[in-house]
Chain A
Amino acid sequence: MEGMSYLTVGYLGMILGIAIWTWTVFARSKHLEARISAIETSMGKEYIESDSIALQSTINEEN
């Protein structure tokens, strides 16, 4: 392959990598927000403290 062909493959790989990474992150975020909204609506809850593992760890250390 010529130098420009290598450069093209390299650039396309990087653009594709950045695009897939960013798309995945946004899709995950939207999916989770929709899921939380649906669960909270069905439970009639507004907000719940999120990190139960950190809370449990703090309780363990206090006891």
Chain B
Amino acid sequence: MGERIRASFLGVGFVGIMSTLYLGLMWAPSVAIDAFESPAAQRIFYWHVPSAWAAFIAFAVLFVGSALWFFKRSPTGWRLHVAGAEAGLATGLMTVWSGTIWGSAEWGTPWDWSDVRLNTFGLLTLIALFLVLGRRSQPDGIETRDTFSAFGLFGFVLVPFTYIATRFWVIRHPGPVVATGNDGSLQSDMALVLFIGAISFTIFIIGHILTSMHITKLEQRVEMLQSEIDKGG
């Protein structure tokens, strides 16, 4: 896919994310002052939730890519695996970062080890970190790809586990506010900003995944050229 298309996705996504920042800060209504310990910090929710959404998209891409490599030996599958792991790490860290900042303001502690959702999401981000660092430290080969793809496949089990954790084990992390079947859970202006954020992060993550796939293709081309030189050809 052309450079212009990749740059367009990234540019539109970035503008949307910045708009979400502005709207979340200046336009979205404040929460009830007695509902939260720190009503101002609650506005980080407009970035935290969309970045978590983008992380789930990235982990889904990682799963599909891992399966395509593992079962079909698809070169595109391997590129999807690499792109999904990198995007999953970046968006996972953004989610954890914004969550710990909010936790510090609201709970007085950045992390609660007794909360299932925090731990499963943290583990998911650590798997992405392992895949990114592991791929960069190991020589590329069939066995290496098989090992990392297996981790990508099994790691995805944590995605539905994380999703249902807030529904069944609500400890400290707030429960879901969308797709709950309860129309009154989120005020309409808040829902609009959240929706713009989710769309923007989705466009942005697609741009990053396409760019990352392009980079993996370039890296493979460099390796191929290098082996040609080594053979003397």
Interface residues on A, range: 35 or more
B140 contacts A53, C-beta separation under 8 Å: yes
Q: Which residue of B lies closest to A52 (CB)?
A: B224
A35 to B74, alpha carbons, bound, how many Å?
26
Contact of A3 among B38, B93, B142 (CB under 8 A): B38
**Chain A at the B interface: SS class:** helix
Contact of A48 among B41, B101, B221 (CB under 8 A): B221
Q: How many residues of B contact A (CB 8 A)?
A: 50
- Which residues of the other chain, B, contact A13 by a CB distance below 8 angstroms? 97-98, 101
A48 contacts B219, C-beta separation under 8 Å: no
Q: Which of B112-120, B156-164, B179-187, B206-214 contacts A (4 or more CB under 8 A)?
A: B206-214
Query: Given contacts A29-B215, A57-B73, is CB(A11)–CB(B47) below 8 Å?
Result: yes
A28 to B226, alpha carbons, bound, how many Å?
18
B78 contacts A14, C-beta separation under 8 Å: no
Contact of B73 among A22, A25, A35, A58 (CB under 8 A): A58
* B34 interfacial contact with A, CB 8 Å: no
A7 contacts B44, C-beta separation under 8 Å: yes
B78 contacts A51, C-beta separation under 8 Å: yes
Contact of B225 among A10, A15, A48 (CB under 8 A): A48
Nearest CB of A to B198, in Å = 15
A56 to B142, alpha carbons, bound, how many Å?
8
Residues of A within 8 A of B (CB): 1-4, 6-7, 9-11, 13-15, 17-18, 21-22, 25-26, 28-29, 32-33, 35-36, 39-40, 43, 45, 48-54, 56-58, 60-61
